[in-house]
Amino acid sequence: MLIAAPSVLTAESEADPVPGNWVFVDGGTIAQVGRGTAPGTADVELPDGVLVPGLVDVHINGYYGVEFQLADADSWDSVAQRLPETGTTAFMPTMITAPVGEISTALRRAAAFVPDLARGARVLGVHVEGPFISPIRRGAHNPAFIVAPKPDDVSELITAGAGVLRILTIAPEVPGALAAISQLTRAGVLCSVGHSDATADQVARAATAGARMVTHLYNAQRPFGHREPGVVGRALTDKRLTSGFILDLRHTVAAACQIAFAAAPGRIALVTDAAACAGMPPGEYLLGGEPITLPPGDGEPPIRADGTLAGSALRLDRAVANAVSCGVPIATAVAAATRVPADLISRPDLGRLAPGAAADMVWLSPELTTKATWIAGQLVYTDGAAATLAAVHA
């Protein structure tokens, strides 16, 4: 299949805004990307917008009424089939703080069915956010379930999550956390600093122990201070760390976005942190098995009864558009939702349009909303645009 577009952003380079304008797909992978005259008649010719790699979300608690922590295989499958509507072609379902035994049960349940989820967006594994976090930076997490990490508890999660546990968010200042980070890192689990009141020095020690990520930069963590830089200061200056970033313009505002992208080039990964309410009408939903409310209003995040922000209702394509609206170059914004998270989790086959990479692609409109999505070269979503329908009926 040959796709031609006014602009193709490969995410391989953030410096060149137009690195190609045609992509040739062979056998579900990218075979060639080029400029100028295409090597043949295009099967799909996009009239406007931009073709980008499929978006990669490494922090998503739920969507379309489904909370991954509590849901069965059919519910996970239903979300995977619909996420391409948002431009997301690969995602990491996230479970938040709960008793260790309950998290282990949820991980075992997921491990049993994730290999069989073959339709829709790719499931990249599971992100466990907690329970080894700071009570004073808990955000929407239930304080009754927060515990310090013990080696046996960490081993239980590693064993239960064999084959699916990919990221674990932990506060490095809690007793036993640095040993837990080393234990998890040895087991191949990526550790992320989050829900933490750590000092900058404590975050640095976490990175030395193996941590490579910071969970939702600015939110539920010690803020930047000019004498104590905190989690935020270390995240922005330590080149070992990549930060997840909820760019709904509620969790983080435009100035904070500009600072983050300027201070940590190539180390900002756009995430949704979406809850079950995402893609749904205002109303009552669950996060961590407990009630949240999605208020009316475009872009408004869900809240707990006390007003605490509780995840988001964000689309990942909207996060890209929001970044651009804040002054981030489009190539940089696209990379932050594709190559950067893919590289963070050691998936160089995803998040870029380059020879040998998976042919996961998204056609974004001039307004940067998803018009069509391909996974492994197969059209899995279209808004009905003539260009994609012509290819389907050809």
Number of other CB atoms surrounding residue 134 within 10 Å: 23
The dihedral through the CA atoms of 297, 303, 309, 312 has a sign that is: negative
**Backbone dihedral region of 175: left (phi > 0), alpha (psi from -120 to 50 degrees) or beta?**
beta
Instruction: Measure Cα distances from 21 to 4, 116, 348 in Å.
Output: 6, 35, 22
* Cα end-to-end span (Å), the chain: 12
Q: Which residues pair with 293 in a beta bridge?
A: 284, 303
Residues whose CB is less than 8 angstroms from the CB of residue 12 and which lie 6 or more positions away in sequence, other chains included: 19, 339, 352, 353, 354
Distances (CA, A) of 65 to 71, 119, 281: 10, 19, 10
Query: Could you confirm whether 153 is annotated as catalytic?
Result: no
CA distance 339 to 56: 8
For residue 210, count other CB atoms closer than 10 A to its CB: 17
- Within 10 angstroms of residue 177's Cβ, the number of other Cβ atoms is 26
Query: What residue type is assigned to position 118 of the chain?
Result: A
Distance CA 290, CA 170 (A): 21
Q: Are 216 and 244 in contact (CB under 8 A)?
A: yes
Query: How far is C-alpha 309 from the chain's CA centre?
Result: 18
Helix (H, G, I), strand (E, B) or coil at 231: helix
| Catalytic residue (choose from 153, 273, 317, 360) | 273
Number of H helices, E strands in the chain: 11, 21
CB within 8 A of 208, min separation 6: which ones?
A: none
Fill in the DSSP letter of residue 115: G
CA atoms of 267 and 261, how far apart (whole Å) = 8
Encoded amino acid at 222, one letter = R
Torsion angle of C-alpha atoms 160, 166, 167, 168, degrees rounded to 10: 10
Query: What is the C-alpha to C-alpha distance for residues 382 and 371, in angstroms, rounded to an integer?
Result: 6
Active-site amino acid positions:
273
